[in-house]
Chains A and B, each alone.
Chain A
Amino acid sequence: MLHIYCPHCEELREEEEFHCSGEAHIARPLDPDNCTDAEWGEYIFFRKNPRGIQHEMWYHTTGCRKFFNVTRDTQTYEIKEVYKIGEQPKVVAEG
């Protein structure tokens, strides 16, 4: 079970308090009406799904109800960092 530091509550909490919301840093296209079907499909469905470093969003469901970002190794499950929405990760995948 993951042990997750909520950057808003500033505490380590059990995974059970959170809900993972998938890949982070996927911005909603600013002009959806001018997206092609393929561009829209890319936005809503296609994912990097990396084996290794991934940036993902978590929601502190039963805590502060805030979203935040987590950089996590999807193979070892190590959490490398947490950072708030709007911030950029310091740990990034090589290559």
Chain B
Amino acid sequence: MSQKNRLQSGGRVDRSKALTFTYNGRQYKGYQGDSVASALLANGVDIVARSFKYSRPRGIVAAGAEEPNAVLQLGATEATQVPNVRATQQELYNGLVCSATNGWPSVESDWMGMMGKLGGKMMPPGFYYKTFMFPQSMWPTYEKFIRKAAGLGRAPTERDEDEYDIVNQHCDLMVVGAGPAGLMAALTAARSGARVIIADEQSEFGGHLLSSRERIEGKPAAEWVAGIVAELAKLPEVTMLPRSVVNGYHDHNFLTINENRTDYMADKAPEGQVRQRMHRVRAHWVVLATGAHERPLVFGNNDVPGCMVASAVSTYINRYGVVPGNKLVLMTTNDGAYQTALDWADAGREVVAVVDTRSNPQGERIEAVRKRGIKVITGSGVIDVQGKKRVSGVSVAGLDAKGEKVTGNVQQLSCDTVASSGGWSPVVHLSCHAGVRPVWSDEAIGFVPGPSVQNQLIAGGISGTYALDKVLAEGAKAGQEAVAKLGLAASEVALPNVRKVSEGTPMALYHIPHTKPTSRAPKQFVDYQNDVTAAGIELATREGFESIEHVKRYTAMGFGTDQGKLGNINGMAITAAVLGKSIPETGTTVFRPNYTPIAFGAIAGRNCGPLFEPKRFTAMHKWHVENGAEFEDVGQWKRPWYYPKNGETMQQALDRECVATRESVGILDASTLGKIDIQGKDAREFLGRVYTNAWAKLAVGKCRYGLMCGEDGMVFDDGVTSCLGENHFVMTTTTGGAAHVMEWLELYHQTEWPELEVYFTSVTDHWSTMTISGPNSRKLLSELCDDIDLDKDSFKFMDWREGTVAGVPARVFRISFTGELSFEINVQANYGLHVWEKLFEHGAKYNLTPYGTETMHILRAEKGFIIAGQDTDGSMTPIDLGMSWCVSNNKPFSYIGKRGMAREDCVRENRKQMVGLKTKDPKVVLPEGAQAVADTKQPIPMDLLGHVSSSYWSANLNRSVALGFIKGGLDRMGETVYYPLADGRVIEAEICSPIFLDPKGERQNV
């Protein structure tokens, strides 16, 4: 198909590079340098969307980030689908596939459009709050239909194969926007040697100069831009980022930039390249030179395809060589938009009329238009538009001086394009991100950035300055200011020579009245994407939604993917008019990140999948894998859970591991336990303060178990600490609690007791720890260790010794978490696998059996030992755990937890206390988490006595064992409690001692 709207020459597209693309299943041609929007317009495609609520046909309105309608589904394959791509920002590439997101059977002829026409009248703002309520049971059905209509594009159903990365950047000056102001600022700072990053969302630097016919230094603006860009490129301290949206400007001058690396050339990144890159920037200073967006005017049927923003029309003509129609009516409140009429006429197409809302506009551009013989209709407005799928004509009427009422006769003009300009809205978005509200400027007729506490400067359109000479000057000034603040030597930058254009005063007008009241006039759209109309805003305001925040929420204005870039100010103006207030009196409009939407994948970077979080392995991990271990995630560690053999079920494996350990010897990789080396002359005193039990008398060579509580007296961690020397200890913590304990110790040392001389070093990763446990553990160890006297009287329970194991220096601790004779062997992590393998070499004859966390849990539960984090949940004191033996009341220092445990609620009777639980039927294992009741006949909600915290099948005892909590449990031994389950079964259990095996502790003392 021919590009009927393409000019023979002009613009920045490369006519020698033709590109083919597919839209809605049909092939079209465009050129290198086109956006999808310009290519669609070149081909005369009018309809790009169906509106959200009324299914009205919609065309392209704008040429940049502010476009509300041309939001397409892009992607040639399933895995490369991208929802909601803005056609005005997507560069065209060969083979691009895109489609409209709504409309059935097609966006051209959508049956929902019929519904929109019929039902549209019943859908004022907030209609959904007023209906779909009856009967109550029908809401899910209503909602099903509502959800059918929801959404624009769709997520792919296959995995994204592309990669994204994240880089951290630091700079002296971050310049946002590479239009005339940004370029001047960057150049000025860069010449002084500042480290500058300049980013711009467009493919080329230059901003609006790329679509302008202005001249700088006597040459076309784009040539001037090329000169500046060339100079910047030569400066080593300058980073230039085109196709890079600064999407967020956060506190402490932190900015994020989304750089599009490959989307402009394909929907899948070429091999070896990342699709997008996020730059996380810390800047000493920031210049916001983000420009301004032109506002369309609000008038009847202003959403019919062919209605566009004036400057966008100029952009299509000047930058892309595309005239998006044949007969133009231009409506404006200001001089600037007259340029569009000139551009249109110069493109050889007809300007039917310029309709100026001002009664007596005067200015250079107006004269130029008049000289061309173009009709200028003053003091008037386009009150509505004819046409369904494309503009066919307009009604023009005289307006009163304030533009509030139609006064004159209505005349009809035939045209296919209506361009409008209601002035410009500074792009203040980024300036709001760190919590600063913009302030209204009557001069700029728009919001400008409010005062910032950050190192931020603004220049150009964002400050409400639109004349090119002033914009360039502001840019240079911002650059100079930054240079001065940075303490760099100023360098000379001459302001380029630009011809000044004399302009008349613009009129502050947003909403063109109709002969009918707004409520009865043809729909006048304010926010295209959300189908918000002037009538809707007036209705919302009349109903009492008077704050602008209420209006926005009630009507959904500004909640689209364009975040109200075109519509918000117009909407505020309409609200203000209804309330008889000024715009700033109705409130301000606050923008939040992102400036334009950013792919989740880009924000996540590489930190997904395998790199979501690091995996921590012990030194013996390879062995575990080779020996068929199943693993459990504990914190970041991968711990062996159990080691199934030859098709065993999990229970079979556990039974085997449990029995083997108690009958002969088992081995556990305990390397993941936290280990903290503690030294200093006050180390002992410190331990006494952070543990609940006494440490003053622990001799060198001895180990002790300790409980750690918060100031509230609740247990949060436990472990064994050993005395290595008079002033030297090594503490163990739970696997998951290690980092927290470390910080806890540092906190108290550094902030409460700095006078204590004590030092903490995390040594978790330095040591490999393997526990051999069972009656044959001593025999096994003796085969590999000849320099420690392992005799039961010289190496007692709760002793530790230094020696050599398997030829390697080792610390051996005679401590036990199974209740069996146990030795915990610690060697340098590098030797871990070696020693482990040696143990197996010698252990074969003892049936040395590796066991994982699950068997460890069972064996300790048989002994009634707690696991902090499983049997505790932050609400248990040591007393609740039946561990008063581990609480010292005669330490001189009021250790952490002591006072907390003594509070009124902590000493009351009937607290939940840990007990053992024996099911009446020994074969039945209580489910962990099950809740006890005294009387199963109570109505729900029942009185819950406490939960089961640990519960297992014990192969050694040939019955189930469980630990759990019961209100007042320690005084209720022998009583029966009941556990009602979800399936209706009730398990009966007897309260008993938590120590199921070897209550006297004889097995570990052999």
Contacts and interface: CB of A to CB of B under 8 A. Distances in A.
Interface string B685-723: 000000000000000000000000011100000000000
A44 B251 contact: no
B251 A57 contact: no
Nearest to A65: B746
A77 B251 contact: yes
Interface in A27-65: 27-28, 31-33, 35, 37, 40-41, 43-44, 57, 59, 61, 65
A14 B253 CA distance: 12
Given A37-B904, A40-B900, A85-B751, A3 B254 contact: yes
A67 interface: yes
Interface string B891-929: 000100011101110000000000000000000000000
Interface string B56-82: 000000000000000000000000000
Interface string B740-753: 00010011001110
B903 A1 contact: no
A74 to B, nearest CB: 12
Given A78-B453, A85-B751, A86-B754, A33 B894 contact: yes
Interface in A57-85: 57, 59, 61, 65-67, 76-79, 85
Contacts of A27: 752
A2 B252 contact: yes
Contact of A67 (B250, B746, B894): B746
Nearest to B251: A77
Interface string B299-322: 000000000000000000000000
Interface string B273-285: 0000000001000
B435 interface: yes
A59 B898 contact: no
Given A33-B894, A40-B899, A44-B900, A1 B252 contact: yes
B754 A85 contact: yes
A10 B476 CA distance: 34
Contact of B750 (A37, A61, A66): A66
B455 to A, nearest CB: 11
Contacts of A65: 746
Contacts of A76: 435, 453
B188 to A, nearest CB: 25
A19 B250 contact: no
Contact of B903 (A3, A40, A85): A40
B594 to A, nearest CB: 15
A67 to B, nearest CB: 5
A33 B903 CA distance: 10
Nearest to A73: B453
Contacts of B898: 32-33
A5 to B, nearest CB: 11
Interface residues of A, number: 29
A59 B752 CA distance: 14
A1 B752 contact: no
Nearest to A1: B254
Nearest to A68: B750
A3 B254 CA distance: 8
A66 B742 CA distance: 12
B263 to A, nearest CB: 26
Given A32-B898, A37-B903, A3 B282 contact: yes
B754 A44 contact: no
A67 B453 contact: no
Contacts of B282: 3, 14
A2 B435 CA distance: 14
A20 B612 CA distance: 23
A67 B750 contact: yes
Contacts of A78: 453
Contacts of B894: 31-33
A21 interface: yes
Contacts of B754: 85-86
A31 B892 CA distance: 11
Contact of B743 (A14, A35, A59): A59
A59 B711 contact: no
A50 B114 CA distance: 57
Interface residues on B, range: 20 to 34
Contacts, number: 61
B742 to A, nearest CB: 8
Contacts of B434: 77
Given A76-B435, A86-B754, A59 B747 contact: yes
B743 A77 contact: no
A34 to B, nearest CB: 9
A32 B435 CA distance: 43
Interface in B219-234: none
A11 B978 CA distance: 61
B751 A57 contact: yes
Contact of A1 (B251, B435, B743): B251
Contacts of B751: 57, 67, 85
A63 to B, nearest CB: 12
A28 B252 CA distance: 33
Contacts of A77: 251-252, 434-435
Contacts of B254: 1, 3
A85 B751 CA distance: 6
Contacts of B453: 76, 78
A14 B252 CA distance: 10
A32 B251 contact: no
Contact of A59 (B250, B710, B746, B902): B746
Contacts of A14: 282
Given A32-B894, A85-B754, A61 B743 contact: yes
A26 B850 CA distance: 49
Interface string B228-271: 00000000000000000000001111100000000000000000
Contact of A44 (B711, B746, B902): B711
A40 B750 CA distance: 21
Contact of A43 (B253, B435, B711, B747): B711
Nearest to B282: A3
A76 to B, nearest CB: 5
A33 B710 CA distance: 15
Nearest to A2: B252
B252 A3 contact: yes
B437 to A, nearest CB: 13
Contacts of B710: 44
A57 B253 CA distance: 22
Contacts of B752: 27-28
A61 B251 CA distance: 21
Contacts of B903: 37, 40-41
Interface in B413-437: 434-435
Contacts of A28: 711, 752
Contacts of B250: 1
Contacts of A67: 746-747, 750-751
A23 B868 CA distance: 28
Contacts of A86: 754
Given A1-B251, A1-B254, A33-B894, A21 B747 contact: yes
A44 B253 CA distance: 35
A14 B170 CA distance: 12
A40 B904 CA distance: 11
Nearest to B906: A37
Given A44-B712, A86-B754, A33 B252 contact: no
22 contacts: A1-B251, A1-B252, A1-B254, A3-B252, A3-B253, A3-B254, A21-B747, A27-B752, A28-B711, A28-B752, A33-B902, A35-B899, A40-B900, A41-B903, A44-B710, A59-B747, A65-B746, A67-B751, A77-B251, A77-B434, A77-B435, A85-B750
Given A44-B710, A44-B712, A61-B743, 16 more contacts: A1-B250, A1-B254, A3-B253, A3-B254, A14-B282, A21-B747, A27-B752, A28-B752, A40-B711, A59-B743, A59-B746, A66-B746, A67-B750, A77-B251, A77-B252, A79-B252
A-B complex: 10 closest residue pairs judged by Cβ atoms: A32-B899, A3-B252, A32-B894, A77-B251, A67-B750, A44-B711, A1-B254, A76-B453, A37-B903, A28-B752
